[in-house]
Structure 1
Amino acid sequence: MNIKLERVKVKPFIDITEQFNWYDLIYIAFFMAAILCKAVFMQFQMHISFRPLFSKINIFMTISSVGFVLILFAFLFIFYSRNKVAFLIANIVLSVLFFSDAMYFRYYNTIISVPVISNARFLGSVGDSIVSLLRKSDILYFIDIPLFLLYSIIFRKKAVKSQIFSRLIISVFAFALGAGSFAVAKSQNDFSIYDNNYIVKNFGLGYFHYYDAKKYIAENLLRDKKLSSEEEQDIRNYLDKKSNNSVGKYNSIAKGKNLIVIQVEALQEFVIGLKVNGKEVTPNLNKLLNESVYFENIYVQVAGGNTSDAEFMTNNSLYPAKEGTAYFRFATNTFKSLPMMLKEAGYNTYAAHAYSPSFWNRTEMYKALGFDDFISQSDMVLDEFIGWGGWALSDDSFYRQTLEAIDKSKPFYAFLVTLSSHHPYSYFNDKDNFDVGKYDKTYLGNYLKAQNYADAAIGRFIEKLKKEGLYENSLIVIYGDHHGLPKDQAGDLFSLINVSNSKLEWAKLQKVPLIIHYPGLESQVVETIGGQMDIGPTIINLMGLDDYFVLGKDLLNCDKGYAILRNGSVITDEFYYFSDENKVYDFKSGKELDRAAYDEEIKRYLEDLRISDLILEKDAFAKMKFDR
């Protein structure tokens, strides 16, 4: 008996060759490679990640980034079709997002977040600033899109229409691989909730945006905004311990006097006393130092709100919002602000800024902070334009018109926010108001010209205050709001001031000048390290007000100097803790120190951020009862 055996062909569970062809696979492979390359390119372009490429941190960052691409593929593949529209739209959206990350990082030195994107419609026109931040290499974020579009059109008919069941199985597998990649990367790295750049550096740009979106949903859509009894007690204990309420040095020296606070746009500390070609950049401020208290170690603590964050800290001594800006997210909160304290003391309170009242949501926020009047562009005659592309009302006109609008028959608090020296300083490119020598027509040169003009306008304003009898009857506070030079301009600055180019030296330069003038104050230079959080408490001491609700310190009466940045970095006289590296360096020598020896001290400092976030995010002052 002859038995004929036949080979039986077993059909696989999913036959890839029947479901897809090489045109599909090539398209998908290129899509995934393109997204991965753009994300990693952005990190190296912005110097968030560094060579060597195969360092431990970069390897696990890449593993996490591959995980993001796999999970992205898993979701998109469910909707895969012949025209590949889901992949094409995703490519365009992510290209725009990564490009926006780069642009935002160049100015704010951090990654764009969901709260920033959600509030973007309130920010007004910043076209000139954006153009100045563009780089030729930015074309790489979009160069592949025309090729993908062309590929989709040419090979559309050759694509196979796959079954949904097959796509689901493959998507589940890809998702599991992606999630596993995230898990592997997280097992090898610490995690910082305070520093977005740290998250990007260790886990990749894609993971950050996933984490940021997840956190935004949890904190804004799903979060319980109820203040627990434990949280309330934590806040009370903190305020009780922090409050001084003792008669310190210069306490109440300016009680009952006018308060004039000038927040100067982009004024950094290094320009004070600086000479270029033998001439002072800020001769008027330098002269004012001779009859004022000058704080030379005040660090920039702003975050996503930039100028508005500086305003917020001065008037509340609360830290900026963890994400986005307090001026948008918490404009309906209850505050215990400086203008409110002065209103209770019988003062008229004014905020003034020569721009649209809706910019940074100032109209609503100034109401929440307790200002009686907001003098904005809408209330001014636009008679002279200097700075910010040539269409900003000049500081000279701003000072004059603001002073005219103030009722000077009774004590007043005037909070003035200047504009002429705003980034990108292009207005001063061809101006001869100040000779910057070899830096002419450079970013740094234009910045120095802008600050020289701002200084001249302050000088003329002070002379006007003297003529009107206000100079000797007012506490005058002048400070800068944030950095003026992005990090990619560090080279010219290091050359100008003859400082070595290092991360620590750059970090040390992120300071603003703080000048406080009052006839009874002894002229002196204070070296105490502080931040913009401390401006309000120092004013409160001099004005004889209640310091219970402030988180900052009185710079004239504190035992130890320090500054805590919104990203969780900590600066003291002894050390600088970089949260993005999770490393500690000796402040003077730059030598790396044993981080473990400083962990407990750093943790105590970071408690400030936790308490501030509780107060803001839970609207604690509206829910807590106080005897004062």
Structure 2
Amino acid sequence: MNLAIFLDGGKIMKTVLQKVRGGLNTKLGFFLLTVVLFAIKSYVAYQNKFTLGVEGSIQKFLLAFNPFPAAILLIGIALYFRGRLSYWLMLLIDTIMSTWLFANILYYREFSDFLSFSIMKGSGSVSNNLGKSLMGILRPSDFLVYADVIILILLLAFHLIRIDPRYFKLRFAGIISVIAVVLFGFNLGMAESNRSGLLTRTFDSNYIVKYLGLEAYTVYDGVKTTQNNAVKAKASNSDIKPVLKFLKKNHADSNIQYKGVAKGKNVFIIHLESLQQFMINYKWDGQEVTPNINKIYNSSDTIAFDNFFNQVGQGKTADAELMLENSLFGLSEGSAMVTDGTTNTFQAAPAILDQKGYTTASFHGDVPSFWNRDNAYKSFGYQYFFSKSYFPKVKNYDAGYGIKDKLFMEDAANYVQQLPQPFYAKLITVTNHYPYILDKSNKSIKAWNTGDNTVDPYVQTAHYLDQSIGEFYNYLDKTGLRKNSMIVLYGDHYGISNNHKPAIAKILGKKKVTNYDLAMFQKVPFMIQMPGLKGGVNHTYGGEIDVLPTIENLLGIDSSKYVQFGQDLLSSNRNQIVSFRNGDFVSSKYTKYGGKTYNTTTGKELKNTTATQTSAIAKIQKYVTTELSLSDKVVNGDLLRFYKPKGFKKVDKSDYTYNLTKSLKRLKASQKSNPTSVMAKNNGQSTLSDYSTDAPELKNIDTSELVFPTVK
């Protein structure tokens, strides 16, 4: 009896398998198999390769469901074609979609965001040296996104599934396309019911991907990019009015005590690549990681800020520069310096100071096209841009994203000494940039032991960065530049992304990190030093958007007449709201991060808020949303072309050139026409002999032997 049942069961199973195989041998069957495998693969990737913050049954269902509409619609295109061609098109479309998923996995791993058309448009500006980073990002499991494609190819190659040469009726193909659209409508309806205003109010691409899928996000991003271009074409003079109204309403009066105390001083902006606030006064293996920066931070003539946050988006360093010198936010996708830096009108710090008699210069040890700086800087009003071609080449001088910091800072000093005073000089370090590449001879502290190979070298490059700052400071002291300068040091963005939570927890001495911990982990150093400045640690909550009005106040410049979204960090009536690019925020009372709200002082999550708390949080959220939205309107609509501050002359980009020969000739001529530089005051003699560095690359090279480009 049991044997008979077993045999009958075997026959049934065989029959089922035959029917399944028979179904797969049809074009529709193969199509459905391709769609299901792609959807399964996408779901697994969403769960394991991204941090989408999925919570609740609806979000979990949509995460599994959302790959189907796009897969059915796109792979279904192949059904409109005949014979074998339709099979190969299905495989091709699947491969293209898989490659897009693969690319986003790699990008997300380091930048916690998805690729956008703006990022791709600017890929030429950021692609240099990414090969080294790619090897550090790649994981063997990433290639599993192609597993379904390989399986399908093998099934066809070994004839386990046979190609159905029959014609697939066009009306059936059309019905499948309609089904895909209906399924997407269902998906969108459920998403909107769970997250109202998903496509109209959110600043975070993670939400769109977890609700609608990667393909839908890509289409949304493409539409939004097109709309932004259209907005710029349609923008008019009236569009600036709500911006001016918002800024007037939220203007914070400058601190009278500090107004103009740095007037006429040189201004140094020292960009501390990827340095985070927790590194200040931090010790590892019995050593201070940043002893030189610690000394500056704790100096009596330094105003240091311990609640200062990075506010960058996808543009990272480029966003930090935009905020620092324009008090405008970076865009929610891509980099404004790339998409708008060439064409937009700006009223940036270099132009403001240029028109007040300052020489303005930026220094960066990589190619000038990186982040479109060679064009954006002209729009900002920089007179000089000293990039890689201006500096001597020595063996092993490049660390992946430009010249190593110790070499770069010394090389920069050659041109700093020639700048007519007063000057505004920005120096951008790069060695503490992911993937934290540093040769053995430059390592003077051991790596962390978090077990995360990506994170562990960070402490070594941060220590190296600090040493380069110490050497540069010694030069400023020897030449007398420091006593006649205001020096601003800032970290541009996080160095360790939120995707490294176990390592972050170990670094912070915690078992597990919360969203509150991650929000506080966005703090970066910001300090202003000048001899005679009344210093101390300031606990106000602020961010990079606030830097420009703070500097302007110290220089005696009225920031209220410009379109600037920041508030003077020294003001007593500032609102202390830090807007993050995705719409989250930190304030002196409340912190919202990753969909959860916390008490900023205690770090405790607010699960059941009182009516008063709910109202206060909503008010902050409204401010943040409005601020980001209006800043985006200024950038996307190029609205500053319609606004003319009194006494400010619009920048004419044709006035600027960063051609090596022309720039060096102009700099040389200025030594006679405006002999106020350090070198001019030293009877035309170089002061580089005052620069001391222990850079091993220069061990057998006399500083005076470094060959800089020259002109007759």
Indicate whether the TM-score tops 0.5.
yes
- Whether 1:280 aligns to 2:288 is yes
1:439 is displaced (CA, Å) by 5.4
Q: Distance in 2 between matches of 1:246 and 1:423?
A: 37
Q: Distance in 1 between matches of 2:405 and 2:516?
A: 34
User: What amino acid sits opposite 1:61 in the alignment?
Assistant: L
Runs of 5+ unmatched residues, structure 2: 1-19, 648-712
SS at the partner of 2:499?
helix
- Pick one of 622, 647, 667 that aligns with 1:603: 622
- Whether 1:110 aligns to 2:121 is no
User: What amino acid sits opposite 1:397 in the alignment?
Assistant: L
TM-score normalised by structure 1 residue count: 0.90
For 1:505, the equivalent position in structure 2 comes to 517
For 2:477, the equivalent position in structure 1 comes to 466
- Pick one of 380, 383, 390 that aligns with 1:369: 380
1:568 is displaced (CA, Å) by 0.7
Q: Distance in 1 between matches of 2:577 and 2:394?
A: 43
Comparing 484-493 with 544-553, greater Cα deviation is found at 484-493
For 1:452, the equivalent position in structure 2 comes to 463
For 1:12, the equivalent position in structure 2 comes to none
Change (3 A) 1:440 1:375: farther
Q: Distance in 2 between matches of 1:293 and 1:72?
A: 57
For 1:185, the equivalent position in structure 2 comes to 191
Q: Distance in 2 between matches of 1:254 and 1:431?
A: 36
Which residues in structure 2 correspond to 1:196-345 (within 5 Å)? 196-220=205-229, 222-223=230-231, 225-228=233-236, 230-244=238-252, 246=254, 248-291=256-299, 292-331=302-341, 332-345=343-356
- Whether 1:380 aligns to 2:391 is yes
SS at the partner of 1:540?
helix
Which residues in structure 2 correspond to 1:551-590 (within 5 Å)? 551-559=565-573, 560-578=575-593, 580-581=594-595, 583-587=596-600, 588-590=602-604
Runs of 5+ unmatched residues, structure 1: 1-16
Q: Distance in 2 between matches of 1:92 and 1:373?
A: 46
Q: Distance in 2 between matches of 1:188 and 1:285?
A: 47
Comparing 179-188 with 359-368, greater Cα deviation is found at 179-188
Partner deviation per Cα, 1:270-313 (whole Å, 9 max, x = no partner): 11100012210000011112321111111111111111111111
Give the conservation status (yes or no) of the 8 Å contact 1:297–1:529: yes
Give the conservation status (yes or no) of the 8 Å contact 2:292–2:467: yes
1:323 is displaced (CA, Å) by 1.5
Q: Distance in 1 between matches of 2:112 and 2:291?
A: 30
Partner deviation per Cα, 1:346-378 (whole Å, 9 max, x = no partner): 011001100011111110011110000100001
Q: Distance in 1 between matches of 2:591 and 2:467?
A: 35
- Pick one of 612, 635, 643 that aligns with 1:616: 635
Q: Distance in 2 between matches of 1:152 and 1:541?
A: 71
User: What amino acid sits opposite 1:606 in the alignment?
Assistant: T
Q: Distance in 1 between matches of 2:470 and 2:221?
A: 45
Comparing 455-464 with 210-219, greater Cα deviation is found at 210-219
Comparing 536-545 with 67-76, greater Cα deviation is found at 67-76
Give the conservation status (yes or no) of the 8 Å contact 2:27–2:163: no
User: What amino acid sits opposite 2:580 in the alignment?
Assistant: L
Give the conservation status (yes or no) of the 8 Å contact 2:303–2:527: yes
- Pick one of 445, 466, 478 that aligns with 1:434: 445
Change (3 A) 1:409 1:388: closer
1:171 is displaced (CA, Å) by 2.6
1:626 is displaced (CA, Å) by 3.8
1:38 is displaced (CA, Å) by 3.0
Change (3 A) 1:247 1:98: same
Give the conservation status (yes or no) of the 8 Å contact 2:448–2:459: no
User: What amino acid sits opposite 2:570 in the alignment?
Assistant: L
1:46 is displaced (CA, Å) by 3.4
For 2:43, the equivalent position in structure 1 comes to 40
Which residues in structure 2 correspond to 1:47-62 (within 5 Å)? 47-49=50-52, 55-62=57-64
Change (3 A) 1:39 1:394: same
Q: Distance in 2 between matches of 1:395 and 1:384?
A: 14
Give the conservation status (yes or no) of the 8 Å contact 2:260–2:555: yes
Give the conservation status (yes or no) of the 8 Å contact 1:64–1:185: no
Change (3 A) 1:339 1:80: farther
Partner deviation per Cα, 1:531-588 (whole Å, 9 max, x = no partner): 111122211111112313221111111433221011111111211123x52x422222
1:429 is displaced (CA, Å) by 6.8
User: What amino acid sits opposite 2:80 in the alignment?
Assistant: I
Give the conservation status (yes or no) of the 8 Å contact 1:576–1:585: yes
For 1:416, the equivalent position in structure 2 comes to 427
For 2:17, the equivalent position in structure 1 comes to none
User: What amino acid sits opposite 1:605 in the alignment?
Assistant: V
Give the conservation status (yes or no) of the 8 Å contact 1:267–1:481: yes
For 2:143, the equivalent position in structure 1 comes to 139
Say what the alpha-carbon RMSD is for the aligned residues: 2.5
Change (3 A) 1:591 1:612: same
Percent identical residues: 29
TM-score normalised by structure 2 residue count: 0.80
For 1:24, the equivalent position in structure 2 comes to 27
Comparing 247-256 with 228-237, greater Cα deviation is found at 228-237
Comparing 192-201 with 239-248, greater Cα deviation is found at 239-248
1:424 is displaced (CA, Å) by 0.3
User: What amino acid sits opposite 1:615 in the alignment?
Assistant: V
1:206 is displaced (CA, Å) by 2.9
- Pick one of 363, 369, 372 that aligns with 1:352: 363
1:337 is displaced (CA, Å) by 0.6
Partner deviation per Cα, 1:396-449 (whole Å, 9 max, x = no partner): 221122121133442111011111221101325786411346459943331001
For 2:674, the equivalent position in structure 1 comes to none
